[in-house]
Structure 1
């Protein structure tokens, strides 16, 4: 299982990402404000699709939002779909 990492710039923009053999194979682009974490886009390398990488990044992002007491604004189609499919799992962090 690949480790999900977070990189942020000084404006609190960045991504959760996954590497495989030193190459980035998945990315969830985010921005953070005082109270919210906005997810803009999630992408997984086509060769790595179906391995659960998007879900790993989703889980890492939600854990981070909970730790930092942030509400998630799911502008990304994938994240929004997961939030709608599993509302009980994400109710505490979902900013509707």
Structure 2
């Protein structure tokens, strides 16, 4: 069973990390300020590719954003592609596409 946790440092820069059997399998680099959660990079270790782990990370990120009333700014190519392909799924956390470059 995967264990996903959100980790922030004091300056609101951090990672969303995904662990599989206590081994780090992937991460997203993020920062939070002014009600916006910026996603810079998504990475899944090679041995876990093709198992949907990037989507698991994104789902947890969206849950976190909703719980904390944050809008997601998808600077990461993977997250931006998911938002563009499934805008209805992410409308609550990505209400205005013009926010991409904020």
Q: Please indicate, yes or no, whether the TM-score normalized by the shorter chain is above 0.5.
A: yes
Aligned to 1:5: 5
Q: Which runs of 4+ in 1 moved over 6 A?
A: none
Shift of 1:72: 0.4
- State the distance in 1 between where 2:20 and 2:27 align: 12
Shift of 1:10: 0.4
- State the distance in 1 between where 2:91 and 2:2 align: 27
Aligned to 1:75: 75
- State the distance in 2 between where 1:68 and 1:10 align: 17
The count of aligned residue pairs is 96
- State the distance in 1 between where 2:56 and 2:3 align: 8
Shift of 1:79: 0.3
- C-alpha distance after superposition, 1:33-76 (max 9, x if no partner): 02100000000001100111111110000011011111100000
Q: TM-score, normalised by structure 2?
A: 0.89
Matches within 5 A, 1:1-96: 1-94=1-94, 95-96=96-97
Paired residues of 2:2 and 2:21 also in contact (CA < 8 A): no
Q: 3-state DSSP class of the match of 2:2?
A: coil
- For structure 2, the residue ranges without an aligned partner over 5 or more in a row are 98-102
Q: What RMSD over aligned residues (CA atoms) do the two structures have, in Å?
A: 1.0
Shift of 1:25: 1.3
Q: TM-score, normalised by structure 1?
A: 0.94
